[in-house]
């Protein structure tokens, strides 16, 4: 019988989790680190627990204490030099964020072909995976909230909060918001073009993260939205630990 697994994606600003049993996804949840108690209902000492974390040390300690109290010792996953047919081309493979590595593993499981893997969270990462499963490298770009904050703090007049997308903005708030969207989409589309030129084919493009739905209407390349991509990668890695 397949084990019951608790998969935890500990991001910079929030925790996402899923419960999987026998290949069936039974539950999913999300919370910020001030409200971790909402996770308790899904914790079960009989379950295997796997964590991919890019959270701060303080938030990791909070999560670890909660898991220990529930009798759920966890495997804290790390980036590796290789997994199955995916190879990590980072100069120091261990330095690659484990969330990015999980996304690459999940993308490869979905598509055995060249793929651009985008995670639009606190920061946005845009990672290139070749047709043979080699991680070629990727970009890290400040996410929407970070860009907005930088404009507010770094310019004399500041950038008004809010704003809406406009092709030709005529107020500061709209100009800042539309510029942020254009910058993020431009990074994705530029890397897509580079990967297509290298591989000689149009790659798949997978996007996940909290800002994915905001960016989707503005992208000119074909994109698949996969909200649980990190969790899918954790589940793939967990299968090896459970053998």
Report in angstroms the alpha-carbon separations of 133 from 11, 84, 115, 128, 239.
25, 9, 9, 10, 19
> Which residue in 184, 225, 185 sits closest to 208, CA to CA?
225
> Which residue in 132, 144, 60, 137 sits closest to 95, CA to CA?
137
User: What distance in Å separates the CA atoms of residue 26 and residue 55, rounded to the nearest whole number?
Assistant: 25
Report in angstroms the alpha-carbon separations of 32 from 15, 53, 116, 123, 222.
6, 14, 28, 17, 32
Cβ distance 128 to 113 under 8 Å?
Answer: no
User: What distance in Å separates the CA atoms of residue 208 and residue 111, rounded to the nearest whole number?
Assistant: 15
- The residues that are catalytic are 99
User: What distance in Å separates the CA atoms of residue 11 and residue 181, rounded to the nearest whole number?
Assistant: 22
Q: Which of the 8 DSSP states describes residue 59?
A: H
Cβ distance 49 to 6 under 8 Å?
Answer: yes
Cβ distance 27 to 19 under 8 Å?
Answer: yes
């Amino acid at each position: 019988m397949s084990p019951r697994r608790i998969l935890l994606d500990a991001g910079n600003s929030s925790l996402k989790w899923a419960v999987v049993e026998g290949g069936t996804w039974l539950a999913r949840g999300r919370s910020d680190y001030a409200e971790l108690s909402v996770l308790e209902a899904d914790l079960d000492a009989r379950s295997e627990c796997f964590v991919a974390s890019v959270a701060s040390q303080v938030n990791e300690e909070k999560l670890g204490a909660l898991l220990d109290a529930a009798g759920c010792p966890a495997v804290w996953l790390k980036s590796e030099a290789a997994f199955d047919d995916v190879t990590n081309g980072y100069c120091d493979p261990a330095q690659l964020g484990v969330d990015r590595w999980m996304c690459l593993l999940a993308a490869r499981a979905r598509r055995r072909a060249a793929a651009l893997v985008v995670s639009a969270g606190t920061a946005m990462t845009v990672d290139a995976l070749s047709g043979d499963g080699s991680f070629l490298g990727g970009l890290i770009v400040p996410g929407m909230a970070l860009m907005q904050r930088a404009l507010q703090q770094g310019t004399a007049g500041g950038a008004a909060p809010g704003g809406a997308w406009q092709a030709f903005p005529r107020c500061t708030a709209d100009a800042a918001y539309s510029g942020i969207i254009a910058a993020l989409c431009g990074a994705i589309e530029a890397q897509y073009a580079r990967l297509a030129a290298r591989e000689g084919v149009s790659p798949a493009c997978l996007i996940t993260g909290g800002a994915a739905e905001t960016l989707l209407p503005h992208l000119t390349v074909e994109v698949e939205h996969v909200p649980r991509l990190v969790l899918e990668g954790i589940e793939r890695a967990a299968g090896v630990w459970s053998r």
